Amino acid sequence: MEKAQKIWLLLAAICLFVACNSGETQQVESPAEAPADSLVIDLAEIRERGKLVLLTENSSISYYLYRGQAMGFDYEMVREFARANDLELEVRVLEDLNDMFQLLNEGKGDLIACNLAITDDRQGLVDFTMPLAETRQVLVQQNPTEPEDSLIDEWHELDGRELFVHRYSSFYENIVKREASDSSGVEIIEASGNIDSEQMIRLVAEGQIDLTLADENMAMLNATYYDNIDISMHVSDGEQIAWAVRKDSDSLLLALNEWIENRSTKRRLAYTYQKYFVARKDQQARVQSPFSSLSGKQISEFDNTIQEYSSELRWDWKLLAAMIYQESRFNPEARSWAGAFGLMQLMPNTAKRFGIDTTHTRERNIRAGVAYLKYLDNFWRNRIHDPQERVKFILASYNVGPGHVQDAQRIAQHVGKNPYVWDNNVSDCLLLKSEQKYLALEGVKHGYCRGKEPVQYVRNVISQYSMYQSMEL
């Protein structure tokens, strides 16, 4: 195959796969240098905002969705750190891997976690945590299909071959160093940052590119998916995998390192590493499932029904899917201790009001839940005019009832907050409904409420919706 044709195929493949990497980050020309006046956003600032922002890639190692649930080694471990520090976790999927350090230093994220190797060049841009794992770099090539062909097992055998790598990857650094001392004549072709190492392994397996390099832990996992690739040739010694933070994030770095060193974290780390890198057949089943964001592009088996009924609400179907995930994890047999049942977790009295009971079909359960949501939308339409705000009031009302939410509005008026804005206003006042002095206020008439649950419910649905939006499903 001619070089021009191969490059054309790579570009076509990039167009095919780039949809998998939809995210919230913006394009930046070069990650080569951190800005001299980079923002100071350390742990104190992160705690003040209450949210940790993760920059990562959409891959079977770092972050993907399976049956509507966020998964990935890096995601799960960062999530555990966020929980330990009482922080929400926001995930921003990188559109271009070459931009990651620039985006971090511009304050678009708080840490990078995507199977990132520690290198000298990278240490000039960011600070790394203590290592979470160790790996080596391997050559990814197709197994020979003809008897006269043989595997490459020596560096000098790369002479005249095309090797696809990212310009800002650790692979590129090692190739340059190795070529300086032991020139092989290999032709290095820079891959676009819109396509990650895992996708390049796929292109090798499909014969669309000749060779690439990958971290051994990722390559071993992908060799489970593709039985026609060989990863036996090591091209580097052991490398340490860690997370990256800005150089001014000293307190965050210290907190991360202390957490990584904790005995319970080490147990969690070992369990999670086993889940993603050792139990490869289980991981293969998840990744290649029709309900994986990496292959099947479905959130659940109920997507078509959700799409049909979400149009009645004029909601994005992914928002309704996020709500159903929070209600039942897409389990149609789910039952709560209070008696709520089905995908939409309707209470028996509400279900009866909208014409169903536990004997009705899954589709009828969704239809009844949407009918209740339409009722709540009508209830709030003349009270909350902003559609985005109204969604939050509807979600809270679905969880705890509109009466308690109205009580929170009255408390908001009393304490000088905005009764028509949810975040940091009515949500805060719903939390006050567990205190007697606020229950005694004029107009507050629906009694005690454990407000933390509906407030967290709204937060969880919106966060889940954001995850679904970040993926092309």
- Residue 23, pLDDT score: 37
> Which parts of the chain register pLDDT below 50?
1-38
- What pTM, to 2 d.p., does this model score? 0.82
Q: CB of 100 within 8 A of CB of 31?
A: yes
Residue 9: the pLDDT is 43
pLDDT at 182: 64
**pLDDT for the residue 184:** 67
100 in Cβ contact with 115 (< 8 Å): no
Identity of the residue numbered 272: T
pLDDT of residue 174: 72
The contacts found for 143-152 with CB under 8 angstroms, 24 or more apart, are 143/228, 143/229, 143/230, 151/230, 151/232, 151/233, 152/211, 152/233
Active site residues: 327
Structural domains of the chain, with CATH: 1-298 (3.40.190.290), 303-469 (1.10.530.10)
| Total residue length of the chain | 473
What's the confidence (pLDDT) of residue 179? 65
SS3 70: strand
Model pLDDT, residue 391: 98
3-state DSSP call for residue 211? strand
Predicted local distance difference test score (pLDDT) of residue 3 = 46
Task: Give me the pLDDT at residue 150, please.
Answer: 84
Cβ partners under 8 Å of residue 352, min gap 6? none
The whole-number pLDDT of residue 236 equals 81
- Predicted pLDDT at 12: 44
Q: 125 near 204, Cβ under 8 Å?
A: no
Residue 235 pLDDT: 86
